[in-house]
Amino acid sequence: MAQLKMATIASAIGIILSTSGALAQDAHDEMFAKMPPVAAGPAIDREKGYVVEELGRGLYHLNDGVYQMMFVTTGGGVIVVDAPPNTGKNILAAISSVTNEPITHVIYSHSHKDHIGAAALFPDDAVIIAHEDTAAHLAGKNDPDRPVPNKTFTDGMTLEVGCQKLQLDYHGVNHAPGNLYIYAPEQKVLMLVDIVFPGWTPFPDLALAESVDGFLEAHNLILGYDFEHFIGGHLNRGGTRQDVETQQAYFADMVQAAGKANGTMDFNAA
Ligand SMILES: [Zn+2]
């Protein structure tokens, strides 16, 4: 029943098309089911194109309705996590709307361009931190939009800047190699990108995962953290433990149904 509590990707596509003005409202209403309330997020200022929410002392969730990232003010410079090109220069506008501190540290959640491809906007002297597998991948890409990290690690590291602390953990391949669990213990915020989609159906991302087992196991690993706010990197709202449990139940249903089908289907006949 978990799936009944989540909006469909078709709705998401409908929203994206309609916000871009490519589809008239009437046609949209005919083609797509109404978005269930559970998928609704904070209102995005249409003029600005983004919304910033403070989730805890100095920790901000930046969301443009399709992509999400976070940044932390430390008193000694801003730590930015990710740089989606979809948000682009609005990243800088959002940060300067809450602080005058310069950006001193950048963390890449993983190597994919749709989440970090605006990183060239940040100062050249910023420390760029990522898992060693992410750095190795980017070194091979030679992409000016994704500067190669200059600080890497294998299993985990704690980043302390000014008055803030972030724990960066690597638990193996899931959606992609090098995909990090980024945890703020004081604010009880956990960010992990492209795994959990609070309020939305996650099915296509299971199929895209570089490790399906790792993707499914990530739900258990997430729930092992003491967090209240979850940032998943996509769509229009952050999540809670309940959202992670709902998605976990959705996949448990799917694995069970697939196992049953595998056991009863006559493959020769098919
Ligand atoms: Zn990705």
Question: Which tens digit of pLDDT belongs to each residue from 132-182?
Answer: 999 999 999 999 999 999 999 999 999 999 999 999 999 999 999 999 999
- CA of 194 relative to ligand 1 center, distance in Å: 6
**205 or 56, which is more confident:** 56
Confidence at residue 5, expressed as pLDDT on a 0 to 100 scale: 46
Surrounding ion ligand 1 within 5 Å at CB are: 112, 194
Residue 264 in tokens: 């009863």
Average pLDDT of 205-216? 91
Place of tokens 């089908």: 261
Give the type of residue at 26.
D
- Could you give the maximum distance between any two Cα atoms of the chain, in Å? 67
Per-residue model confidence (pLDDT) at position 137: 98
pLDDT at 49: 96
Question: Is the pLDDT confidence value at 39 over 60?
Answer: yes
Buried b / exposed e over 33-57, threshold 16 CB at 10 Å, is eebeebbebeebeeeebbbbeebee
pLDDT for 6 equals 55
The Å distance, Cα 260 to ligand 1 centre, comes to 30
Please name which of 89, 84, 47, 55 lies closest in space to residue 72, comparing C-alpha atoms.
55
User: Residues 6, 39: contact at Cβ < 8 Å?
Assistant: yes
Residue 175 CA to ligand 1 centre (angstroms): 7
pLDDT in tens, 14-37: 444 444 445 577 887 888 888 888
pTM of the full structure = 0.89
Rounded Cα distance, 116 and 69, in Å: 10
Pairing of strands 151-153, 127-131: parallel
For the chain, give the percent of residues with pLDDT over 70.
Answer: 91
pLDDT, position 210:
95
**CA–centroid distance, residue 114 to ligand 1 (Å):** 7
Higher local confidence (pLDDT), 270 or 48: 48
- For ligand 1, the distance from its centroid to the CA atom of residue 89, given in whole angstroms, is 20
The share of the chain scoring above pLDDT 90, in percent, equals: 78
Residues 69/122, Cβ–Cβ less than 8 Å: no
86, 67 in Cβ contact below 8 A?
Answer: yes
Task: Indicate if the pLDDT at residue 192 is higher than 90.
Answer: yes
**How many CB atoms neighbour CB 104 within 10 A?**
18
Tokens of 189: 């915020």
Q: Please compute the mean of the pLDDT values over residues 199-221 and round it to a whole number.
A: 91
215 CA to centre of ligand 1 in angstroms: 12
How many angstroms separate the alpha carbon of residue 174 from the centre of ligand 1?
10
Q: Is the pLDDT of residue 58 over 90?
A: yes
**What are the tens digits of pLDDT across the range 88-131?**
999 999 999 999 999 999 999 999 999 999 999 999 999 999 99
Distance 209 CA to ligand 1 centre (A): 9
Which residue is listed with tokens 């003010």? 73
The whole-angstrom separation of Cα 264 and Cα 36 is: 34
Q: What is the pLDDT of residue 27?
A: 82
Cα of 153 vs centre of ligand 1, distance in Å, is: 20
Tell me, what's the pLDDT at 23?
A: 59
Phi, psi of 262 (to 5 degrees): -60, -35
Weakest-pLDDT range from 18-27, 196-205, 241-250: 18-27
Q: Select from 102, 54, 56, 105 the least CA-distant residue to 83.
A: 105
Q: Which two tokens stand for residue 119?
A: 């990183």
Distance from Cα 116 to the centre of ligand 1, integer Å: 9
C-alpha of residue 82 to centroid of ligand 1, in Å: 11
Average pLDDT, the chain: 91
Measured distance CA(14)–CA(8) in Å, rounded:
10
CATH of range 2-263; options 3.40.50.1970, 3.30.413.10, 3.40.1410.10, 3.60.15.10: 3.60.15.10
Q: What angle do CA 19, 25, 27 make, to 5 degrees?
A: 120
Distance between CA atoms of residues 183 and 189, nearest Å: 6
**pLDDT above 80 for 9:** no
Using the structure block, give the residue that is written with the tokens 């493959």: 267
